[in-house]
Amino acid sequence: MSFPKNFLWGGATAANQCEGAWNEDGKGDSICDHNRAGSRTANTHRTFDLEIDTDQYYYPSHTGIDSYHRYKEDIALFAEMGFKVYRMSIAWSRIFPNGDEETPNEAGLQFYDEVFDELAKYGIEPLVTISHFELPFHLGKTYDGFLDKRTISFYENYATTLFERYKDKVKYWLTFNEINFGTMDHGKRINGLFNREYTETEQYQALHNVFLASAKAVVAGHKINPDFKIGCMLAYITMYPKTCRPEDVLKTQQINEKFNFFCGDVQVKGQYPYFMKRYFEKNNIQVEITEEDKALLKAGTVDYYTFSYYMTTCITDDLEKRNDKTGGNLFGGVSNEYLETSDWGWQIDPIGLRYTLNQIYSRYEVPLMVVENGLGAFDEVEANGSINDDYRIDYFKQHIIEMEKAIDDGVDLIGYTPWGCIDLISAGTGEMSKRYGFIYVDRDDEGNGTLDRSRKKSFYWYKQVIESNGENL
Ligand code: P53
C-alpha cells in the first residue's frame, strides 16, 4: 500500500520561533519573549526573566528568523517544495496583546489574513495551532494563567475571534500544542504558572482548565463552521521497558499512561481515564471537576489526533540504571543500546514511529497526523554555499518508510508536517544552531547573520518525495 492520494505533505513552524517582530504593530509580549537563549549543554533550562532587559540580554524570539517580514519569500519556498499543508501558529498576543481585552488588535488579524491569502495563492492548506507556547505574559503575571477560570473565557474569546475571522480561509485547527507537557516544566508556557511554586493540585487544576478551554473552542468552532476539523496535539514520547523484567514493564505502563495516554483520552474520549482518577485519589490531588465540566469535555471532543514524534525512550524501575539518562528526556528515561542519538541526545527510532502510530490508532481510531518530526542537527555551509545534509535526508527517509508501513497496517494517517521546515529558534534550548530545516537561515546563536534563506540538499529531496507522493525516497 502507498500514501493516499490526498495525503497532506507539508511542514510545521510556530510563531514564537520564527516571526520575530515581538513588539511590532501592537503585539504584546508573550511568555516566550521572556526566555533568554540557552545552550545545548543546558538543554531544556533557559533563563526566564520576569522583566525583559534587552540592553543586557539576547532574547531569540524577539527577532526569530524575521518571518513576520519575510513570510512571502518563505511561503514561495514551501510552494516550490510542493507543500499541500503548512502548519503554523497564531501569536495570541498579536491578537490580544494582554490577553484580557475584549476587542482584538486589528493589525494582528490583518497580518494573518495576508499570510493565509499568500498560502491560498499556491493552494497550500493552513493548519493553525491556536496556542503554541504563546500565552500572553500578562495572563500569567496577573491571573496565574489557566489556574484562574477567567483565562478559559479569554482563550474562548481569542479562539472564537479567529474562527469568525478566518472561517473561509482555515479548515484545520489545533487547540493547544503539546498539551501533555501540562504539569511539567515546559507546561508553564501553556498554562502560565510562573509566579511562584504551585502545588500538584494547582498544576492539575490549571491543566483541567486548559482541557475546558480546548473543549469550549471545539464546540464554538463547530458552530461557526461545521466543516472545521479541530484537533488535539501531544508530545508523544514512546516508551519501552529497559528490560523484560516485569517490574520494568509495569513501570513503563504507568509512566506511559500518565504522559502519553492521559491527555489524549480526555480530548478524544471526553473523559478522565480511570488511572488518573486513582492517581488523584491516592495522592490527595483535589481537582475540581464539576458535572458541567464533564458534559463540556464530552461535547468538546476533537475531530482528529495529532502529535510530535522525535524519539523514544526506555523506562526502568531500577534506580541504579537511571544514571544512564538520555538527552531531551523528561521522565528519567534511560538509553536504548539499539538506537543512535542526535547531537542533542535524542534517540532516533523510525520503527518506533510505526509502533507509535499503531499504538495511538488502536486506542482512538480517529484520523492521525504527524505534525512534528525531524532531526535537530548542526549544518555546515560549504564554500560554494551548498548544504549537504544527507543525515537529515536519511532520517526522513527512514521515518517515511515506517509511516507507509503503518498505513499498510491500517492506520488512518492523513498528513505529515516535518518540524522546522525552515530553520528556526529551538524551543528547548533557544539555539539557532539546532537546525531542522529544508531551508537554511543565515543566523547564529548570538543573533548575528544576514537572515538570508537558502535551499539545503534535503530541500530538493523533499520536493521529489512530495511530487511522487512518497514513492521516490
Ligand atoms: P526543540 C521536547 C521534547 C519533545 C518536543 O524541540 C518538544 C520539546 C521541547 O524542547 O517540543 C516540540 O526546539 C515543540 C516545538 C519544538 C520542537 O518540539 O527543543 O512543539 O515548539 O521546537 C523541537 O529542538
Round to whole Å and give the CA distance between 392 and 376. 9
Q: How many CA atoms lie within 13 A of 315 on its CB side?
A: 21
List, chain by chain if needed, residues with CB within 6 Å of any ligand 1 atom: 14, 17, 44, 177-178, 186, 235, 308, 310, 328, 372, 376, 419, 426-429, 434
Q: What is the pLDDT of residue 38?
A: 85
Q: Which long-range contacts (CB under 8 A, 24 or more apart) does 393-402 make?
A: 393/457, 393/458, 393/461, 395/348, 395/350, 396/458, 396/461, 396/462, 396/465, 397/473, 398/350, 399/309, 399/350, 399/353, 399/373, 400/465, 400/470, 400/473, 401/350, 401/473, 402/350, 402/351, 402/353, 402/354
* Cα end-to-end span (Å), the chain: 15
Q: What is the pLDDT of residue 142?
A: 98
Q: What is the pLDDT of residue 405?
A: 98
Single pTM value for the model: 0.97
Q: What is the pLDDT of residue 112?
A: 98
Q: What is the pLDDT of residue 329?
A: 55
Which set of grid coordinates corresponds to residue 53?
532587559
Name the catalytic one among 134, 178, 402, 404. 178
178 a catalytic residue: yes
- Which atom of ligand 1 lies nearest, measured to the CA of 420? 22
Q: Best of 326, 419, 422 to mutate for ligand 1, by most ligand atoms within 8 A of CB?
A: 419
Q: What is the pLDDT of residue 323?
A: 64
Q: Sign of torsion, CA 182 364 217 371? A: positive
Q: What is the pLDDT of residue 187?
A: 82
Which set of grid coordinates corresponds to residue 39?
545552550
Q: How many CA atoms lie within 13 A of 411 on its CB side?
A: 28
Domain boundaries, the chain: 8-235+256-306+349-467
- Give distance in angstroms: CA of 55 to centre of ligand 1: 28
Q: What is the pLDDT of residue 317?
A: 87
Q: In angstroms, what CA-CA distances link 345 with 13, 325, 342, 371, 375?
A: 22, 9, 5, 21, 11
Report residues of the chain scoring pLDDT below 50.
Answer: none
Q: What is the pLDDT of residue 325?
A: 67
Q: In angstroms, what CA-CA distances link 191 with 41, 70, 143, 166?
A: 26, 30, 11, 25
Q: What is the pLDDT of residue 340?
A: 96
Cα torsion for 295, 223, 169, 301, to the nearest 10°? 20
Reported ipTM exceeds the 0.90 cut? yes
Q: What is the pLDDT of residue 49?
A: 95
Asked whether the beta carbons of 300 and 282 are under 8 A apart, the reply is no
- Nearest alpha-carbon partner for 64 in 134, 118, 166, 119: 134
Q: What is the pLDDT of residue 4?
A: 98
pLDDT one-digit tens code per residue, 385-413: 999 999 999 999 999 999 999 999 999 99
Round to whole Å and give the CA distance between 227 and 74. 28
Q: CATH code for 8-235+256-306+349-467?
A: 3.20.20.80
Round to whole Å and give the CA distance between 9 and 62. 30
Q: What is the pLDDT of residue 224?
A: 98
